[in-house]
Amino acid sequence: MPELPEVETIRNALREGQDGYPSLLGLKIIDARVYWSRTLATPTVEVFQDRIRGQIIEELGRRGKYLIFYLSSDSMLIHLRMSGDLFLEPLNIELAPHHRMTLEFQEGFRLAFNDTRKFGRVWLVEDPQTVIGDLGPEPLDAEFTSQVLWQLLQSKRRQLKPLLMDQKFLAGLGNIYTDEALHMAKLHPLSNSQEISRTQCEVLWHSIRQVLKEGIRRNGSSIDWVYRGGDFQNYFRVYGRSGAACPECGTAIKRIIVGQRSTHFCPRCQPLAAGANVD
């Protein structure tokens, strides 16, 4: 958390403007302040502040769960990890607890990176591919077809849930949207990727894209004190609904641990194939 829809929602807000603040496109960064040095994966605090000062934000992009600021000379990438968030706020207000970095603009406001758990990271690099070059396909890109997914599934022999969450396999899916997509596709989270039929793969491909698009349409999911503003949590099929009735068949939703992550599914709608290897 946040996953692809939440990061895309933040990107859209910063790119289009929100809450009375203008778009960040075309704005010059007049200063940068780092309040916890390990927020920066690279470079050092001194180099970061010196290099980013005076650069103009030319475009805002996203790759998987990474937010990308394309600057006039460099690229700044932010991964929010477990508890990161970005705020626009006036320069003259007191810094909130857990602000790890801020960028200041001559228009009188700043962009603040707030991260309670300190897992989020920031990179300032010449080439963003040095950070994101090993990510898997972007699930909403036109180039990501059901045939591509089928070939990827057949190239591995892994359980579906952890495989879909592997960012080198497919970029952007996390715990929430993987559970939701698997339920929509009626696939058990422990199913073996090589045992998925071509027809099942087609349904899974549609399901992944559908839940992500719906998550973006609803501005993501707000399920705790970290991310705010979305309402997709009101439409969850299975995630976080252990013991509640499945919206498809009424069976109680089950919670198990897969790869150290809570996993929610319907045992009736998502049966595990007989003889399946769940190791």
Catalytic residue set: 2-3, 65, 261
Q: Smallest Cα–Cα separation from 175: which of 161, 191, 158, 156?
A: 161
Query: From edge to edge, which strands make up the β-sheet containing 75-79?
Result: 40-42, 121-125, 75-79, 66-71, 57-63
DSSP 81-121: TTTEEEEEEETTSPPPTTEEEEEEETTTEEEEEEETTS--E
Q: What single DSSP character describes residue 56?
A: B
Name the 3-class secondary structure at 206. helix
Chain Cα centroid distance, residue 151: 24
Q: What token pair was written down for 122?
A: 């920031």
Q: What token pair was written down for 265?
A: 């599914």
Q: What single DSSP character describes residue 4?
A: H
Residue 58 neighbours by CB distance under 10 Å: 14
Residue 151 amino acid letter: Q
Q: CA distances (Å), 140 to each of 70, 151, 210, 243, 249, in order?
A: 21, 17, 9, 32, 29
Q: What token pair was written down for 204?
A: 């899974």
Query: How many whole angstroms separate alpha carbon 124 and alpha carbon 238?
Result: 38
Query: How many whole angstroms separate alpha carbon 69 and alpha carbon 172?
Result: 17
